[in-house]
Amino acid sequence: MSGIIGSVESKSGIVGSDVYPAGHVVQTATAAQTGSVNFGGGGWTVITGMVVSITPKFANSKILVTMSAGGSAGDGDLSYIYSLISVTDTGGRDANAHYNSQGYGHHTSGSWLSIPIIVRCVDLPANINTQTYQLKMRTTAGTASGAIINYGASAGVQEGLITAMEIKV
């Protein structure tokens, strides 16, 4: 080995540092939501801290987006938590990379049910423009079905994280 860090050596010499086998992570970007956000009542709420941008090195890469946070559903007989990860890029693309709903039964008025909020999706941007992924949340329509992301965050616990990973195809 020639001692060059970050390079790959082949029989014909040094190939270079931009050689990534299929399935390998090329780069990652992470952001955190440190405070709690109430998103109950029906309409979409932008979770401002849960936004991450990544600029793919390869046009055919996959972008794996993961998000996790502690949450709490409240007061309704049945609270449905809806998550949406929207994606925009510097080339003008505006789409939904992920949409999901999860139901949580909750029958005790005036109390809250602790829940995990976990989202995973794969995006195929097909370009090398900067991709920006934004988490939005909502509950079942109506004021009785409230929900909070990062419940207890004021005590420094359950910090929400969003990560984008470029995966070489």
Secondary structure (DSSP) of 30-83: EEEE-S-EE--SSS-EEEEEEEEEE--SSTT-EEEEEEEEEEEEESSSEEEEEE
Tokens 């949580």 — which residue?
104
Q: What does the mean pLDDT of the chain come to?
A: 80
Instruction: Please say if the pLDDT value at position 151 is more than 70.
Output: no
With 60 as the cut, is the pLDDT of residue 12 above it?
no
According to DSSP, residue 28 is labeled: E
The one-letter code for the residue type at 60 is N
Q: pTM for the whole thing? A: 0.81
Lowest mean pLDDT among 35-44, 135-144, 151-160: 151-160
Give me the mean pLDDT over the 147-163 stretch: 73
Q: Please name which of 94, 95, 115, 93 lies closest in space to residue 104, comparing C-alpha atoms.
A: 115
Q: Which residue has the higher pLDDT, 100 or 108?
A: 100
Adjacent-strand bridge partners of 63: 123, 166
Q: What is the pLDDT of residue 86?
A: 94
Per residue in 106-140, pLDDT tens? 555 666 777 788 899 999 999 999 999 999 988 77
pLDDT confidence of 15, banded at 50, 70, 90? very low
